[in-house]
Amino acid sequence: MTQHSVAEAKNQLSDLIDRTLAGEDIVITRHGHPVVALKAIRPPVRPLTRDDLAWLAANRVRSSATTDAGTLLSQMRDEDER
């Protein structure tokens, strides 16, 4: 991880972006304190399709407002043991 002041980052932004895209962790500091970390945004492996969204909607787990989290986990555990 490398750190750069705001002034350095301003002067080297294009280079810092390229280094971030190459996998380097870049932190920008103000008055010696870290304030921003640059992070590359990776494209999805493949775009979502309507079929993907339909599958997600059909397989979504519906929550029950009357079941607390502990009971729900116990039920899921008991189903796995069968």
Query: Looking at the domain assignment, is residue 76 inside a domain?
Result: yes
Q: What is the pTM of this model?
A: 0.53
Query: Looking at the domain assignment, is residue 8 inside a domain?
Result: yes
pLDDT at residue 77 greater than cutoff 80: yes
Residue 11, domain CATH: 3.40.1620.10
Domain containing 6 equals: 2-38
Range list of β-strands (E), the chain: 2-5, 26-30, 33-38
Query: Looking at the domain assignment, is residue 60 inside a domain?
Result: yes
Rg, the chain, Cα only: 23
Whether residue 34 sits in one domain with residue 62: no
Whether residue 31 sits in one domain with residue 55: no
Query: Looking at the domain assignment, is residue 71 inside a domain?
Result: yes
pLDDT 10s digits, 36-59? 999 999 887 888 899 999 998 888
Count of domains forming the chain: 2
Query: Looking at the domain assignment, is residue 45 inside a domain?
Result: no
pLDDT at residue 68 greater than cutoff 90: no
